[in-house]
Chain A
């Protein structure tokens, strides 16, 4: 135990921090105070996970359902662990093997899950916006675990938490924790829900974001020579760079995204090898970033394509830590959401 005043090591939770949300659909709706509350709640959850028996009764008697229409290892598993660590009952439903295969509609499926007593539905779906549709039709809380190309809020929050732990200024106020930090996201920005949610989360917390990709993998409003989309919900302003060697200079964080194989078949890229030559995170490229820059990847990785194996397992890599933090962040999300509906 410490003799130092414990109160000093724990930053004060912002006075205005409240949580009234029933759903978590994306990070674009979260205020800096709400994100800060989530981050500090995650600190407490990390302590729970560090115990010999990582289990508390905070959500005892609550039922959490994971409903995944797309494949997932880490997201589904970490939500399940998070729910169990908080004492909730967790039921896993995969589209394959459920009545979805008999042709049951999404709305009917979620109404059935609500009828059996789901307090929270954790949902992954291939169609952008599907969780928003569900949220309009059920009383349960809906947590988006990835919808199409649109959003993956808990991934962005765990990435933010990981960066904040290494680079953040804990005494900074809400929205200031990553003030001035340079974050480069490299890869398939156009089709990445991880990139989109990260851009929102990072800019909300004050980071300077650069996205880097070949023009075919940039979203319409970001391609060089095209006017920026004026649509207010499009995305916050970021720097766009198609040359990774320029983008990476002085970066505090470099995040590689997974290159999905179907991008090649759809003619967006000439070949995996060419992509790797121009956009792979190599030791040489990472050396141009700031000293001690963090290397991140949301997984699953294609080592040798978007990231060199030596970089993925280097000391600068926090990729495994991202997975560990994922459980704590999802505990914080489940706790705040399920408690707000008492």
Chain B
């Protein structure tokens, strides 16, 4: 045991030195995310800044987002509608796909030339503005943004360094999706609602359809999320503290979680990773032949991924795609919901009042929200959701999944959970852990140490 601790301390020390070097190189103030004292209760929220006012003269704003074709189109027509309403404001957009986008925005945040309004990923608040230096506290703009349209839990998640750094555009979480065409072939007519149902499905698939049919396939990161889901369901506590990233689970409890995942593999509920790689290497599940043809009949995915998976199915399987039910593995509801993206105003913005008006238009007002629809996920703003639904601009599959996730999940996510060194496919720690177990290199008990070492090296505090 002493050996394990010393290795962890070593990793922590090297991690800290490396991080300090990076920060020094960037010339920014060292502000470790774990020390960001952002508990909402510590300081009263800043009140509206009365000096903010809309200008009568011509105003130039810029906005940036990432996404695909349909999101680009939605934002652009919403901006047109906004400019028609506010004839003195011109909005210049910048947009691209997600890949490389974080690097671009990180450079822009550091150089101070990011756009006035930015679509931000939730963990950017911690990565780039843990000291509150990059984004305007939106509580000061409450004259222009109706902040009462959001649940306090969602708003609190964006409250970092005593500052409301962004408003959530949408919330997301994981849920099961099933291909009922295959389930029906195995003689199962209802979606699995309990662990017993899952195990029974594994058995039925193997017996009736053969060894190459599985009720479910999860990649390494999906497994990690399901494991946390299981543990939270069983023990009723967050995986880690949502502010300080202090792990709330003991080694024994984590070993139990890993053993749970292994039991799903052993009971033919899930495909062994080794088997999956040999047929697909690192291809994503929705692009695998097994998913397209229905041999893999289930996934545990983000609510927003529904259309990606359903449209990938071939014609004989397309109709069977069904949003499943969240499964209670213990006495509590497991799983987390997280802010999938937010809109923030950068501190370099010169026209904060107009920028805030734009955010309010996109998320809360009828004209904007009905155009944006569910292009950035199911709107988290209550008014926005109503307008989008009335306009019929919400994808029904995603809306159904999102409603189930939001009604079920109660746990919070910590900002380090999605750290790239942990979740990266191929090189991340999560991948290493679940690969080791599936290849038989480590037992769940042994894999705990690999997991904890990796988590500690990215900044988790482990009790």
Are chains A and B native binding partners rather than an unrelated pairing? no
Contacts from B to A (Cβ < 8 Å): none
Contacts from A to B (Cβ < 8 Å): none
